[in-house]
Structure 1
Amino acid sequence: MIRVLLADDEAMIRAGVRAILTADQEIDVIAEAADGRQAVELAAAHRPDVALLDIRMPRLDGLAAAAEIVRAVPEVAVAILTTFGDDAYLAKALDGGARGFLLKSGDPRELISGVHAVAGGGAYLAPKVAERVITKLRATGFSRETAARARVESLTQRERDVLALLGGGLSNAQIANRLHLVEGTVKGHVSAIFDRLGLDNRVQAAVLAHEAGLSAEQGS
């Protein structure tokens, strides 16, 4: 079970986000905060797996709260959930140690995927934000390999294993056998990979795996 601390100064927003998260049977919202200072205190008291923070909150904004939580309770994975996709906010959030940056205007599935990703030790950028970051990387001369690696960074380690085997042309059944999983679980991972990375088919997934330097041997 992924234990989540939710912080937003608007009660209706908290209720909506809580409803989305708890629709996933693997997520439990264990505490809620109405301001950044309370979020820091609750993170220290409850030590959730994930602290999901709004940016604009009283007493202490979400970016400052994120940095304090990372310093005080480093085992808590912090993600920012905001209506503001500004690059300055993104840079400050990541500099402060946040592992995720999600938009309230995004698909609810992105929220659930983001919580799973950061709880699993990975990172997650909302697709719209990730697309902008990748565009900037390419504009500054970064290679396709660098851009591809930036995209797959949002995946959990298990999802990267699955993507590597997709790159090797393996079927879901073959991947399940290689990773000692049931085929239904593999199908779920593949769907999550497609949704998170904006892929339409296995060919695109294979191309991305090769560009990111993932190999079937790594997925073994």
Structure 2
Amino acid sequence: MTEPIRVLVCDDQVLVRTGLVTIIDAQPDLEVAGECGDGRTAVDLAGRLRPDVVVMDIRMPLLDGIEATRLLAGDGVPHPVKVLVVTTFNLDEYVYEALRAGASGFLLKDAPPAQLLHGIRTVATGAALLDPEVTRQLVGRYAARIRPTGGTPQETPLTPRELEVLRLVANGLSNSEIAATLVISPETVKTFVSRILTKLQLRDRVQAVVFAYRHGLVT
């Protein structure tokens, strides 16, 4: 048997945190490594407990979830930890900044338990969790900020087909939707996405979306 995915839960609302811990601990392949109510403690515990995934709230005392995420998963962190943001705030600046800080994805607190569990497992594998519809809205709201001044497309090392896939990813399409659009298999889409991330030296799908807008590849 494989080792369970170890999860650190960080939320300043005790009832919410208890609920998350109960849901996670009930799964045979998941294990709650620890819990806390502020970002500073989350950073300290992550250093000691070495969880596979941190489930992180955004608005918390002492150190908010954005800064905690940056310390745990941001660029230059020697041993980055995968962070899944779970918040009541949909598509506001806090979520956008958390993704920029290094979070591997986000969910809303009113998401069903099955979606939370799927999110933890997805992030633990190294994939990003970015709901397609939320991606469309998020990018639509912040496109002006992400897009470079002038909006002129910049050169990339990608092939025309890879650029096509990247644009569809940036527009919020899932792998299955991209496969249907391009009339190729989902496995082929996964291969394209993997190549794109490698060539552009990006960590995950979230960074690919931001890259596409910053380089004027999406209108």
Q: TM-score, normalised by structure 2?
A: 0.64
Q: Distance in 1 between matches of 2:140 and 2:183?
A: 19
SS of alignment partner, residue 29 of structure 1:
strand
Q: Does 1:22 align with 2:25?
A: yes
Give the Å deviation of 1:90.
2.5
- State the number of aligned residues: 171
Matches within 5 A, 1:1-150: 1-71=4-74, 72=77, 74-126=79-131, 128-133=133-138, 145-146=165-166, 148-150=168-170
AA of the residue aligned to 2:90: G
Structure 1, residues 136-163: CA drift from partner, whole Å, max 9, x if none? 799x99997445435577xxxxxx7xx6
State the distance in 2 between where 1:107 and 1:132 align: 20
Residue 79 of structure 1 deviates from its aligned partner by 1.3
How many percent identity over aligned positions?
A: 36
Which residue identity does 1:41 align to in structure 2? Answer: D
Alpha-carbon distance between aligned partners in 2 of 1:149 and 1:214, rounded to the nearest angstrom: 15
Instruction: Judge which range, 26-35 or 126-135, deviates more.
Output: 126-135
TM superposition shift of 1:55: 0.6
Q: CA deviation at 1:40?
A: 0.6
Taking the aligned partners of 2:101 and 2:190, their CA distance within structure 1 comes to 35
Give 1:116 shift: 0.8
TM-score of the pair, normalised by structure 1: 0.64
Are the equivalent residues in 2 in contact too, given 1:50–1:118 (CA < 8 A)?
yes
Mapped pair 1:215 → 2:188:
yes
Indicate how the Cα distance of structure 1 residues 118 and 35 shifts in structure 2: closer, same or farther if over 3 A, else same: same
CA RMSD of aligned residues (A): 3.5
> Deviation digits for residues 72-101 of structure 1, max 9, x if unmatched?
563410111100013422221111111111
Using the alignment, how far apart are the partners of 1:2 and 1:148 within structure 2? 31
